[in-house]
Amino acid sequence: MKLIISKSDLLKGVQIVSKAVSSKTTMSILECILIDASKGNIRLVANDMELGIETIVEGQIIEKGMVALPCKIFSDIVRSFSDGDITIETEDNYNTFLTCEKSKFNIIGRNPDEFSDIPQVDRQEGIILSQFTLKEIIRQTIFSISDNDTNKAMGGELFDINGDCFKVVSLDGHRISIRKVFLKNSYEPNKVIVPGKTLNELMKILSGETDKDLTLYFTDKHIVFEFDETVMVSRIIEGEYFKIDQMLSTDYETKLKVNRKVFLDCINRATLLVKEGDKKPVIITINDEAMELKINSVVGSMKEEIIITKEGKDLMIGFNPKFLIDALRVIDDEEVTLYLVNPKAPCFIRDEEQNYVYLILPVNFTTVN
How far apart (Å, rounded) are the C-alpha atoms in residues 303 and 61? 67
Could you give phi then psi for residue 124, rounded to 5 degrees? Answer: -135, 150
Mean pLDDT for 154-182 is 96
Q: Are strands 32-37 and 95-100 parallel, antiparallel or unpaired?
A: unpaired
Q: Are residues 239 and 321 in the same domain?
A: no
Any domain includes 120: no
115: Cβ–Cβ under 8 A, 6 or more apart, which residues? Answer: 29, 32, 34, 45, 47, 68
Any domain includes 121: no
Q: Tell me if 263 sits within 8 A of 286, measured CB to CB.
A: no
Any domain includes 119: no
Any domain includes 366: no
Q: Tell me if 303 sits within 8 A of 269, measured CB to CB.
A: no
Any domain includes 122: no
Q: Are residues 151 and 185 in the same domain?
A: yes
Q: Are residues 227 and 283 in the same domain?
A: no
Q: Are residues 89 and 157 in the same domain?
A: no
Task: Report the chain's terminal Cα–Cα distance, integer Å.
Answer: 75
Return mean pLDDT, the chain: 94
Give me the amino acid identity at 118. I
Give the pLDDT confidence of 245-255 residue by residue, as tens digits: 888 988 999 99
**pLDDT at residue 98 tops 80:** yes
Give the pLDDT confidence of 287-330 residue by residue, as tens digits: 988 999 999 988 899 999 999 999 999 999 999 999 999 999 99
**pLDDT at residue 349 tops 60:** yes
CATH of the domain at 229: 3.10.150.10
Cα of 191 vs its chain's centroid, Å? 18
Domain limit, last residue, from 91, 114, 137: 114
Q: What per-residue confidence (pLDDT) applies to 121?
A: 83
Q: What per-residue confidence (pLDDT) applies to 279?
A: 79
299: Cβ–Cβ under 8 A, 6 or more apart, which residues? Answer: 273, 274, 275
Label residue 367 by pLDDT band (50, 70, 90): low
Q: Are residues 93 and 176 in the same domain?
A: no
> What is the Cβ-side half-sphere exposure of residue 27, based on CA atoms within 13 angstroms?
11
Domain limit, last residue, from 201, 224, 243: 243
**pLDDT at residue 369 tops 60:** no
Label residue 120 by pLDDT band (50, 70, 90): confident
Any domain includes 369: no
Give the pLDDT confidence of 1-31 residue by residue, as tens digits: 999 999 999 999 999 999 999 888 778 999 9
Domain limit, last residue, from 88, 114, 140: 114
Which residues are bridge partners to 177 per DSSP? Answer: 170, 358
The 10 Å Cβ neighbour count of residue 276 is 5
Label residue 235 by pLDDT band (50, 70, 90): very high
Give the pLDDT confidence of 249-285 residue by residue, as tens digits: 889 999 999 999 999 999 999 999 887 777 789 999 9
The residue segments making up the domain with residue 232 are 127-243
How far apart (Å, rounded) are the C-alpha atoms in residues 51 and 225? 11
Q: Are residues 107 and 8 in the same domain?
A: yes
Q: Are residues 211 and 292 in the same domain?
A: no
Percent of the chain clearing pLDDT 90 (strictly above): 85
**Considering all CA atoms of the chain, what is the largest pairwise distance in Å, rounded to the nearest integer?**
80
3-state helix, strand, coil in the chain (%, to 5): 20, 45, 35
**pLDDT at residue 89 tops 70:** yes
Mean pLDDT for 50-79 is 97
**pLDDT at residue 86 tops 90:** yes
Give 83's DSSP letter. Answer: S
- How many domains would you assign to the chain? 3
